[in-house]
Structure 1
Amino acid sequence: MDKPTPLAHGQIDVLILQALVRKLVMKGVLSPDDVRAMLLEAAKNLDLVGSELTPEAAGIIVHEDLAPVFLGTGTPA
């Protein structure tokens, strides 16, 4: 049985997650600080250079790349 092709090469999941987070912030279920904390925790476990990121590097990724996209304040450069 053939596996279905992911929509937009799997990016639809990311878009749905971003929209869900924004909606939860708008409804007051999550605060922007809650979102940043979750993103920081996830970013610390990223393996971009062969090991987990330092807290400082994870913080930069959250501040510059992830938070703007998830909080709807812009897109990363």
Structure 2
Amino acid sequence: MMEKPTPLAHGQIDVLILQALVRKLVMKGVLSPDEVRAMLLEAAKNLDLVGSELSPEAAQIIVQEDLLPAFLGPDASA
């Protein structure tokens, strides 16, 4: 029987690892910033923050203002 893994640092370590991985893949040219933007937009469209999926416009704002800087650095949304 497999046990459920214990979240480290309340799950925050997962986010830090994912952000570092994405940045490394962009630096190595495996992913382009446009590909990262597209993946983040697709994920954001499926967020349920207000009882239903976000509108395309709301998802775009979340990607530009919050997700891109978190994954690609503060200059990414410029």
The residue that corresponds to 1:69 in the other structure is: 70
Distance 1:41 1:51 in 2: 15
The residue that corresponds to 1:28 in the other structure is: 29
- RMSD of the TM alignment (CA)? 1.6
Name the SS of the counterpart of 2:52 in structure 1: coil
Distance 1:35 1:29 in 2: 11
Closer, same or farther: CA 30–3 of 1 in aligned 2, 3 Å:
closer
Runs (5+) with no aligned partner, structure 1: none
The residue that corresponds to 2:57 in the other structure is: 56
TM-score by length of 1: 0.87
Q: Which amino acid aligns with 2:24?
A: K
Distance 1:14 1:40 in 2: 17
Runs (5+) with no aligned partner, structure 2: none
Per-residue CA distance 1:20-67 (angstroms, 9 max, x = gap): 000000000001010000000000000000000000000000000000
Distance 1:11 1:20 in 2: 14
TM-score by length of 2: 0.86
The residue that corresponds to 2:10 in the other structure is: 9
Q: Which amino acid aligns with 1:39?
A: L
Distance 1:63 1:21 in 2: 16
Q: Equivalent pairs: percent with the same residue? A: 88
